[in-house]
């Protein structure tokens, strides 16, 4: 009789078996559910979006979302296997590539709705800033960790990395993403234990900068006035989205029976949450909120258990960013904030959003994995037990 261990048995020392027993199964399961829900919900919004954009198939966007979901799942698995050193290397390459692409946008980018955020090739539109966000947070965490060793001016380098990214975002312009990376940068700042005076300074600068966008960028001025004008004759997208949520009530109109998606151009992207609420009701709305809350809370809990400064700050920053993006998207859908052009992670249609968020979660899972004794001995991290 062979004593060879069964696949994924605890005695199996193969790389994938070790990955399975060292990865947080709760986080992995939540991500899988969110990706699956994103595909299912696109089958409800795809026909209306395909008709507006004159696509040959009514399920054009749903089919593409299926392909994005498969690719995204592959990215999550491939990245989550990496050692923290590998996460840093990937982040460095992605950050450099994304920044080069963002710098080229004014010359090569595709302009839509007054912003130049996408590079188009072979029928696919890529948004470089989506990939820059997780890479920036990992590099910032790395610099904070190096600063604690006193060998390099890590905090100053981190600020330069953030400032360069924010500047390119403002050139596009993309105020929503600038707000998001600023908030996530501040969260990483806080976790890293940077002096409170620096945090207060960053907060004051961020508030002043956000306020100045009202006077500098005409589209920000127009969106805010539209949002505040409750007596407007024609309700905007935000009001239509809020009406869709209200129309869904407890159990929704039924799959595919939503009517607001005909009136909202971006129902399959920025307002996917409203589409889900209208067709499935309050229970699905609360389920989505609960899943994101579980992902963030569980992720931050895992981050607090890490002893390596880089891993702790990077993991906390990545999970916080996912939660912040979901929060911003949902409050826009509820009519509590003006439109930001920000997707709901894993739920909204879009290849850039799906792949970049998969990269984000893959990195976070890699950083919160239980490392083997050989790996942790070098990093000075005593974690060796497994997840049950």
Q: List, for residues 307-339, the tens digit of each pLDDT value.
A: 999 999 999 999 999 999 999 999 999 888 887
Q: Mean of the pLDDT values across residues 84-108?
A: 94
Contacts of 217 (CB under 8 A, 6+ apart): 173, 175
pLDDT of residue 376: 43
Segment (H or E) for 118: strand 115-121
Q: Is the pLDDT of residue 55 over 90?
A: no
Contacts of 8 (CB under 8 A, 6+ apart): 16, 17, 20, 21
3-state DSSP assignment of residue 220: helix
Q: Which two tokens stand for residue 237?
A: 């997208």
pLDDT of residue 382: 41
pLDDT of residue 363: 98
Q: How confident is the model at residue 340 (pLDDT cuts 50, 70, 90)?
A: confident
Q: Mean of the pLDDT values across residues 213-222?
A: 64
Distance CA 48, CA 61 (A): 10
Q: Is the pLDDT of residue 299 over 90?
A: yes
Segment (H or E) for 31: helix 25-52
Q: Is the pLDDT of residue 22 over 60?
A: yes
Distance CA 258, CA 283 (A): 16
Instruction: Give 347-380 pLDDT, tens digit per residue.
Output: 999 999 999 999 999 999 999 997 644 344 344 4
Which region among 24-38, 197-211, 245-259, 356-370 has the lowest average model confidence (pLDDT)?
197-211
Q: Tokens 């975002």 sit at which residue?
A: 169
How far from 347 is each of 9, 66, 130, 272, 307, CA to CA, in Å? 33, 12, 15, 7, 33
Q: How confident is the model at residue 241 (pLDDT cuts 50, 70, 90)?
A: confident
Distance CA 315, CA 95 (A): 17
Question: Domain boundaries in the chain?
Answer: 15-372
Mean pLDDT of the chain: 84
DSSP character string of 99-117: HHHHHHHHHHPEEETTEEE
Which region among 30-39, 120-129, 281-290 has the lowest average model confidence (pLDDT)?
120-129
pLDDT of residue 96: 97
Segment (H or E) for 120: strand 115-121
pLDDT of residue 266: 75
More confident site: 246 or 264 = 246
More confident site: 116 or 299 = 299
Distance CA 221, CA 228 (A): 11
Q: Which two tokens stand for residue 365?
A: 């899972």
Q: Mean of the pLDDT values across residues 124-136?
A: 92
């Amino acid at each position: 009789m062979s004593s060879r261990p069964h696949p994924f048995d605890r005695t199996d020392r193969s790389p994938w078996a070790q990955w399975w027993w060292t990865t947080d199964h709760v986080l992995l399961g939540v991500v899988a559910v969110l990706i699956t829900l994103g595909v299912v919900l696109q089958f409800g919004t795809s026909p209306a979006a395909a008709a507006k954009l004159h696509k040959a198939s009514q399920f054009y966007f749903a089919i593409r979302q299926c392909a994005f979901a498969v690719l995204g799942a592959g990215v999550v698995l491939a990245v989550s296997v990496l050692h923290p050193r590998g996460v840093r290397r990937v982040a460095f390459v992605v950050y450099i590539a994304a920044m080069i692409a963002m710098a080229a946008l004014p010359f090569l980018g595709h302009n839509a709705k007054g912003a130049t955020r996408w590079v188009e090739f072979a029928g696919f539109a890529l948004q470089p800033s989506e990939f820059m966000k997780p890479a920036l947070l990992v590099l910032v965490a790395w610099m904070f960790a190096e600063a604690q060793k006193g060998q390099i001016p890590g905090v100053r380098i981190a600020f330069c990395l953030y400032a360069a990214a924010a500047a390119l975002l403002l050139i596009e312009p993309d105020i929503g993403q600038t707000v998001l990376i600023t908030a996530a940068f501040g969260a990483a700042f806080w976790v890293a234990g940077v002096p409170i005076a620096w945090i207060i300074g960053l907060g004051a600068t961020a508030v002043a900068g956000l306020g100045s966008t009202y006077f500098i960028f005409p589209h920000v001025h127009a969106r805010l006035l539209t949002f505040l004008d409750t007596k407007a004759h024609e309700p905007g997208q935000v009001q239509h989205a809020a009406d869709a949520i209200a129309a869904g009530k407890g159990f929704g109109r039924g799959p595919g029976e939503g009517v607001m998606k005909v009136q909202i151009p971006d129902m399959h992207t920025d307002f996917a949450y409203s589409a889900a609420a209208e067709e499935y009701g309050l229970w699905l709305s609360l389920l989505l909120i609960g899943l994101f809350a579980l992902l963030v809370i569980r992720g931050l809990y895992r981050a607090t258990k890490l002893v390596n400064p880089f891993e702790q700050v990077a993991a906390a920053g990545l999970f916080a960013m996912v939660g912040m993006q979901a929060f911003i998207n949902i409050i826009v859908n509820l009519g509590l904030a003006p439109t930001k052009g920000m997707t709901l992670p894993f739920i909204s249609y879009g290849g850039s959003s799906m792949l970049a968020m998969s990269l984000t979660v893959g990195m976070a899972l890699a950083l919160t994995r239980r490392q083997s004794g050989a790996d942790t001995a070098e990093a000075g991290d005593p974690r060796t037990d497994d997840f049950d």
